[in-house]
Chain A
Amino acid sequence: MSLGLALVATLIVALAAGWFGYVRASRLRTTSRLHSLPFYHGAYATLWAAIPALLILALWAPVQSRLVDQAVLSSPEGRALPQFEMQRESILSEGREIANGEREQGFNPQSSTLAPRIRAEESRFSLFGGVAAIMAALVAAGFALRRTAPQFRARTGVERWVMIVLFAASLIAILTTLGIFLSLMFESLRFFRLYPVQSFAFGLEWSPQTAIRADQAGSSGAFGSLPLLWGTFFIGAIIAMVVAVPLGLMSAIYLTQYAHPRVRSWLKPILEILAGVPTVVYGYFAALTVAPVVRDFGLSLGIGSASSESALAAGSVMGVMIIPFVSSMADDSIAAVPQAMRDGSLAMGATKSETIRKVLLPAALPGVMGGILLAVSRAIGETMIVVMAAGLAANLTANPFASVTTVTTQIVFLLTGEQEFDSPKTLAAFALGLSLFLITLLLNLIALHIVRRYREQYE
Chain B
Amino acid sequence: MSSGVPSRWNDAASLKRVRRRYAAERRFRAVGLAAVALSVAFLAFLLFNMASKGLGGFTHYEAALPIDFAKSSLFIDPAALNGPDAEQTVASADLTDTLSSAATAAYGQAAADMFGDAAMHRLTKTILANPSVLNGRTTLWLPVSSKVDVAAKGDADAASEKLVSALEQRHALRRTVNMDFLTESDATDPSSVGVWGALKGSFFTILVTIALAFPVGMLAAVYLEEFASKNRWTDLIEVSINNLAAVPSIIFGLLGLAVFLDFMNLPRSAPLVGGLTLALMTFPVIVIAGRNAIKSVPPSIRDAALGVGASRMQVTFHHVLPLALPGILTGTIIGVARALGETAPLLMIGMRAFVAAPPGGITDPATVLPVQIFLWSDEVDRGFVEKTSAAIIVLLLFMLLMNGLAIYLRNRFERRW
Contacts and interface: CB of A to CB of B under 8 A. Distances in A.
B220 A411 contact: no
B74 interface: no
Nearest to A421: B262
Interface of A: 61-62, 65, 96, 102, 155, 159, 162-163, 165-167, 169-174, 176-177, 179-180, 183-184, 186-187, 246-251, 253-255, 257-259, 267, 269-274, 276-285, 287-289, 320, 323-324, 351-354, 356-357, 374, 377-378, 380-384, 387-388, 408, 411-412, 415-416, 429-430, 433, 436-437, 440-441, 444-445, 448
Contacts of B257: 415
Question: A155, A180, A246: which has the most chain B beta carbons within 10 Å?
Answer: A180
B344 A440 contact: no
Contacts of B251: 180, 184, 381, 433, 436-437
Question: A163, A177, A259: which has the most chain B beta carbons within 10 Å?
Answer: A177
Interface in B261-284: 263-265, 267, 280, 283-284
Interface string B121-133: 0000000000000
Chain B interface mostly: helix
Nearest to A174: B240
A278 B343 contact: yes
B166 interface: no
B274 to A, nearest CB: 15
Interface string B370-405: 110110010000000100110010011001100100
B24 interface: yes
B110 interface: no
B70 interface: no
Nearest to B241: A173
Given A166-B223, A412-B344, 4 more contacts: A247-B39, A274-B39, A280-B373, A354-B24
16 contacts: A155-B311, A163-B227, A169-B219, A172-B283, A173-B240, A247-B35, A249-B35, A250-B35, A258-B29, A258-B33, A271-B40, A276-B337, A320-B39, A353-B24, A381-B251, A384-B344
Contact of B373 (A179, A259, A271, A284): A284
Contacts of A167: 223
Question: B25, B251, B344, B400: which has the most chain A beta carbons within 10 Å?
Answer: B251
A381 B399 CA distance: 22
Interface string B192-220: 00000000000000000000000111011
8 smallest CB-CB distances across A and B, nearest first, come from A381-B248, A278-B341, A254-B32, A250-B35, A353-B28, A383-B344, A183-B258, A169-B219
Interface stretch (B42-50, B83-91, B149-157, B175-183): B42-50
B13 interface: no
Given A250-B32, A430-B258, A383 B40 contact: no
